[in-house]
Amino acid sequence: MADQNLTIVEDFILLGFSEFPNFQGFLFVLFLFIYISILLGNCLIIVITNVEPALQTPMYYFLGNFSFLEICYTSDILPRMLMNLWSQKRNISLVSCAVQLCFFLILGAVESFLLAVMAYDRYMAICRPLYYPLIMNQKMCVQMVIVSWMTGIPVIIGQTYQVFSVPFCGSNKLNHVFCDMPPLMKLACGDTSWDKFFIYFDCFLFGLIPFILILFSYIRILSAILKLPSTTGRSKAFSTCSSHLIVVCLFYGSGLIAYLQSMSSYSDRMEKIFSLIYTVVTPMFNPLIYSLRNKDFTKAMKKLFFIECVVK
């Protein structure tokens, strides 16, 4: 009788922020503004790093790739969220949910690896300046970016298949703003031990290992900066690293809290908020962090806008 009462789930309902029915219009405008800001800010970085000769360096090459990644990352989540807020129809099919989850995990892994690559670039520039032009040549930079994009794809495709091979039965209400591993596991029936193992494996392989590499790089960078004789040299070295370090703290801090909360007894509302911080809010602030704290980029941006004004 218990088996007969189970209903096999064919689609999910993304609850999102449905507990605030009077604020759906406000939330739509807010997230639309955020999405447009992300697109404009990151597209601006891509354009400037490609057209300005002074920014044709490995650091800005990685930054341009990182901005493109942020556009892809948020485009996997925000359009669906905006559609749900506008239409109030929150249904998402199993296939669409699987595709969203797969792209979300792949792009999250790419972000971790790119942040590690950017930290390694700063390490080479500050700690090994004589070898920097030889090692960080164009071929090496392209290879590092390709490896960052391709490394996690086979593992995550297999992981997504594993998640959706488990039957979902009973409630189809996914109490989240997008399809993510922890809330999906709450709706799965049967043995989910392997899926939980893959969550921890995913965090270790695509989160912890890149974070350890970043931490190691910055320990060596800090040691090298403190040995610099002049205050001006130390200030310039700190300036080139501070933007990247802020982005690393925002991404890993909010992501770690979100996944730890999903495994604990904290409220689903807090889990959704922290998930939005590292998937939506951080990509919005990244262009501001990199542009406002980088004198070379600010100079190139002023030059570009000045040329456009003169042409007009």
* Structural domains of the chain ordered from first start: 11-311 (1.20.1070.10)
Q: Would you say residue 307 has pLDDT above 70?
A: no
Quote the DSSP letter at residue 13: E
pLDDT digits (tens, 9 = 90+) for 9-20: 778 888 888 888
- Confidence label for 292 from pLDDT (cuts 50, 70 and 90): low
% of the chain with per-residue pLDDT over 70: 86
Return the ∠ at Cα 221 (arms to 218 and 224), rounded to 5°.
Answer: 155
pLDDT at 173: 85
**Mean pLDDT, residues 157-164:** 84
Q: Would you say residue 261 has pLDDT above 70?
A: no
Q: CB under 8 Å, gap of 24 or more: what pairs does 217-222 form?
A: 217/116, 217/119, 217/120, 217/122, 217/123, 218/119, 218/123, 218/245, 220/123, 220/127, 221/122, 221/123, 221/126, 221/127
Instruction: Say if CB 63 and CB 45 are below 8 A apart.
Output: yes
Q: What is the pTM of this model?
A: 0.86
pLDDT at 65: 93
pLDDT at 250: 81
Q: What single letter denotes the amino acid at residue 303?
A: K
Q: How many secondary structure helices (H) and strands (E) does the chain include?
A: 14, 3
Greatest mean pLDDT among 139-143, 157-161, 240-244: 139-143
Largest CA distance in the chain: 78
**Mean pLDDT, residues 290-312:** 65
Which tokens go with 25?
A: 């219009």
Q: Would you say residue 270 has pLDDT above 60?
A: yes
